[in-house]
A = this chain, B = another copy of it.
Amino acid sequence: MSISMSSASLPVMQKMLGNLKHILGKGLAHAQARKFDPQVLTSYRLAPDMLPFTRQVLIACDAAKLGVARIGGLEAPKFEDKETTFDELLERIDRTVAWLASVPPAALDGTEDKAVTFPVGRDGATRTMTAEDYLKTWVLPNMYFHITTAYAILRHNGVDVGKADYLNGGA
């Protein structure tokens, strides 16, 4: 009856990454319809010292992948982080979702109180939380942050996306 660690993570991540994929499809279609180089969008930043669109998508994927891997004590597939085009980003999402779909729920269920140590920032610092807190106050907020930022970059550039795309576009 109550919420399990697997149900609080795997289906939510798969759904949201599916919505992100749908949003990327709209971005690519917009560039093609207007006949401009789609990499204008994939390289776009909302501020000069903010990560570009490509990195927002990669980190959204990695927030899900690495979060689940750390909670479950699993080996996550390594990706090269070389994506620059929409097609490559779409493939990155597909590979992430496929891996999430392969994770047995039993690897996550019952881990609520397990200590998880994870890197914070770029200076080698770490934090330790229970797996439940890590999922609820770090992994998921992080994934939502980067999906929404990717959305905002496209929205700012005139792509016809709305909140329905973000919440349910991949359904």
Which residues of A line the B interface, CB within 8 A?
A: 1-5, 7-8, 11-12, 15-16, 46-47, 50, 109-110, 112-113, 121, 132, 136-138, 140-142, 144-145, 148-149, 151-152, 155-156, 158, 163-164, 166-167
Give CA–CA (A15, B112) in the complex, Å.
19
A166 CB contact (under 8 Å) in B4, B121, B145, B152: B145
For this complex, 22 residue pairs linking A to B, each with C-beta atoms less than 8 Å apart, are A2-B4, A2-B5, A2-B112, A3-B3, A3-B8, A3-B136, A46-B46, A46-B152, A47-B155, A50-B155, A138-B167, A140-B140, A140-B144, A141-B144, A141-B166, A141-B167, A142-B163, A144-B144, A144-B148, A145-B166, A148-B148, A152-B152
A135 to chain B, nearest CB (A): 8
Inter-chain contacts of A138 with B (CB < 8 A): 167
Q: How many copies does the complex hold?
A: 2
Residues of B within 8 Å of A3, CB to CB, are: 2-5, 8, 112, 132, 136
A50 to B160, CA, bound (A): 11
Chain B minimum-CB-distance residue to A1: B112
